[in-house]
Structure 1
Amino acid sequence: MTEFRLPVRVYMEDTDTGGIVYYVNYLKYMERARSEWLRHHGFTQSELLETGIQLVVHRLECRYAKPALMDDALEATAAIHSAGHCRASFLQTVTRNGEPLCEARVDIACLDAARLKPTPWPSAIAAALNG
C-alpha cells in the first residue's frame, strides 16, 4: 500500500476562535490529498466529470486524536486500502511531524454523473487503484 503525501499549512481561516483547526477542515485536507492522488495518477475531477464520471464519498469513519494549530505544517496522506468494482476505500491521516492528529477510512464510490448510479471504474483508474 503506497501512501501519497501532501503538505498542508494551517491558516487562520482553518481555525476556530481559539486558534485550533475546526474539525471539518481535516476532512478538507484529506479530500485534497485524494484529489492530488488522482492527479498524480493522471486524472482530474473536472476531466472525469467531462466523461460522465463523478466520485463521491460513500462512507466515512474518522478519529480525532490531537488538535492542529494555526501555522502548523501538516501532512495529509491517502493510501488505497481496498478497491472493488465501483468503490474504493482510502486510509487517510493528517499528521504533524509524523504524529497522527486525525485518522480516517474514506470509502469512495464511482458514479455515472447523469444517473447518479454506481458505475464501474474507468479501466485506467481501476489499474491505479489496484496497482
Structure 2
Amino acid sequence: MRRWLVLVSVAAALAGGCSQAQDASSIETTARDFFGAVSDEDGQRACALLSSDARESLETGGDSCDEEITKLRLEGGEAGRPEIWGEQARVRMGSDTVFLTRWASAWRITAAGCERRVGEPYDCEVEG
C-alpha cells in the first residue's frame, strides 16, 4: 500500500511538471505572437491576444484597440523563462515584461510593455 502511494505521488509530480512545461511553452508562444503582431502593425491580431480588460484600457477617445496598440513602442525581444503562479504568469521579452492570465484553455496578456520600478509596481504601457 505504501509503495503504491509513493508511485501515485511521483506520477502526480511528473504530470504537474509536464503541465508546467506546456504552460511555459504556451506563455512564450502567446508573448511572441503578440510582439510579432505589434511589429507587423497587425493591431487586430495583437488585440486578440489581450484580455478583455487590457483591450478595453486601450480603447480611449473613440479609437479602437487595433489602432492604439500599433501606436505604442512595444519592442519585445528574446523570451526569458516564464514565471508561473497558478493562473498568472510573467515573462520577460527583451527589455519588456509581459503579464498573462489563463482564460479557459488559452493564455491572454493582461499587461505589456512593463518596466520594473524599484519599490513600486511595474509601469505598463498596456494593462487591464
TM > 0.5 fold call:
no
Task: Name the structure with the higher helix share.
Answer: 2
| TM-score using structure 2 length | 0.27
Q: TM-score, length-normalised on structure 1?
A: 0.26
Q: Relative CO higher for 1 or 2, CA cutoff 8 Å, sep ≥ 6?
A: 1
